[in-house]
Amino acid sequence: MSVTSIVDEKEVLESAASTEVVIQINNMNKWFGQFHVLKDINLTVHRGERIVICGPSGSGKSTLIRCLNRLEEHQQGDIIIDGVTLDSNLKNIDQIRSEVGMVFQSFNLFPHLTALQNCTLSPIWVRKMPRAEAEELAMEYLERVRIPEQAHKYPGQLSGGQQQRVAIARALCMRPRIMLFDEPTSALDPEMIAEVLEVMIELAATGMTMLCVTHEMGFANRVADRVIFMDFGQIVEQNTPREFFENPKSDRTKLFLSQILAH
């Protein structure tokens, strides 16, 4: 039984998007050395919008969202997040990074700290919160991702699904306005994918602006306001999930969908 069928039975989430523009990408181009990896990207994201980015591997989807918090640098074009232009100005970068949370495919939890310490590190040292208040905040988010009892365990003692949920709680402890997900369930065993997707769906229901690179089409169907298809560094097609899955316009989209929805 695939995850798609479990999720399909439930209701599609209502859109919480507003008209306020929170991410604006204009004519963005990026090269890795001589390799042109992102070509003429134009994208507008509104507050509360939930976007799923999909595409074949090597299409630049991860690179695109990593450009949004300057883990990768773009060479041409503008990226404006919450009114702040993303360039080499360190102050701007720091400001954007504290408003944009990221969840990685390989979790990237800090193995020498407990789950609680992973979550409180940034609030204490970046937001200058007192320790007791930071721990209270961290416990609140660990409860939201449904693992408060693991707070004092080290990442090495947790399962993959639990680690990813701690990673989501850690990103949420900074109270970001935008959450980026880079293939959050791709490294998980199938039985753990559902628990992480549940957490992400609950997060979406609270009105968080989310950009999610994923292959979980059931999740896209249920949660996304927009599905974007990327291929060879370009945005080929973007549409509502219903339109995207039922009436794909480009041939490349049709090919991709036939490949991933086959099984």
Partner 1 sequence: MTAAADRTGSTRQLPKQRLDPLRWLREKLFNTWYNTILTFIALAIIYKFAAVIWQWGFVDAVWIAENRRECLNISPGGACWAGVIAWFKAIIYGRYPAVELWRINLGVLLLAAWLAPLWLPRVSMKTVIGLSTVVFYPFLAGYLFVGGEKGILIQVTVTAAIVCLAVNSVHSLIGVVNGGSLVRTLLGLLRLQHRSEKAQRNTLLALLAAFFAIVFALQAGWTLEEVSWVKWGGLFLTLVISGIGITMALPMGIILALGRRSRLPVIRVLCITFIELFRSVPLITVLFMATTMFPLFLPEGFNLNKLVQVIVAVCLFSGCYMAEIVRGGLQAIPKGQYEAAQAMGLGYWKMMSFVVMPQALKYMIPNIVGNFMGLLKDTTLVSIIGLFDILNMIKAASQDVPWRGLHKEPLLVGAIIFFIICFAMSKYSQRLEVKLSAGERR
Closest approach of Cβ 200 to partner 1, in Å?
Answer: 17
**Between 102 and 193, CB nearer to partner 1:** 102
Q: Does 170 bind partner 1 (CB under 8 A)?
A: yes
Strands (E), 47-95: 50-54, 76-81, 84-85
Q: Does 187 bind partner 1 (CB under 8 A)?
A: no
Q: Which residue in the set 62, 120, 122, 209 belongs to the binding site for partner 1 (CB under 8 A)?
A: 122
Q: Does 171 bind partner 1 (CB under 8 A)?
A: yes
Q: With CA atoms as reference, report the closest residue to 223 among 237, 206, 248.
A: 206
Do 176 and 22 contact (CB within 8 A), yes or no? no
Segment lying near partner 1 (by CB under 8 A), choices 18-26, 73-81, 155-163, 213-221: 155-163
Q: Does 71 bind partner 1 (CB under 8 A)?
A: yes
Q: Does 179 bind partner 1 (CB under 8 A)?
A: no
**Sign of the torsion angle spanned by Cα atoms 198, 199, 201, 205:** positive
Q: How many C-beta neighbours within 10 Å does residue 34 have?
A: 5
What are phi and psi for residue 254, nearest 5 degrees?
-60, -40
Q: How many C-beta neighbours within 10 Å does residue 239 have?
A: 17
Segment lying near partner 1 (by CB under 8 A), choices 26-34, 120-128, 205-213, 224-232: 120-128
Reduce the DSSP state of residue 144 to 3 states and report it. helix
Q: Which residue in the set 30, 47, 50, 97 belongs to the binding site for partner 1 (CB under 8 A)?
A: 97
Closest approach of Cβ 258 to partner 1, in Å?
Answer: 33
Closest approach of Cβ 195 to partner 1, in Å?
Answer: 14
Q: Does 80 bind partner 1 (CB under 8 A)?
A: no
**Between 13 and 121, CB nearer to partner 1:** 121
Point out which residues pair with 56 in neighbouring strands: none
Do 198 and 164 contact (CB within 8 A), yes or no? no
Segment lying near partner 1 (by CB under 8 A), choices 66-74, 132-140, 185-193, 222-230: 66-74
Q: With CA atoms as reference, report the closest residue to 54 among 242, 263, 226.
A: 226
Q: Does 132 bind partner 1 (CB under 8 A)?
A: no
Q: Which residue in the set 67, 109, 134, 211 belongs to the binding site for partner 1 (CB under 8 A)?
A: 109
CA distance 25 to 80: 6
Number of chain residues interacting with partner 1 (CB under 8 A): 29
Q: Which residue in the set 55, 104, 172, 200 belongs to the binding site for partner 1 (CB under 8 A)?
A: 104
Strands (E), the chain: 21-32, 35-46, 50-54, 76-81, 84-85, 100-103, 178-182, 209-213, 226-231, 234-239
> Residues interacting with partner 1, by CB under 8 A?
69-71, 94, 97-98, 100-102, 104, 106, 108-112, 114, 121-122, 125-126, 153-157, 170-171, 174
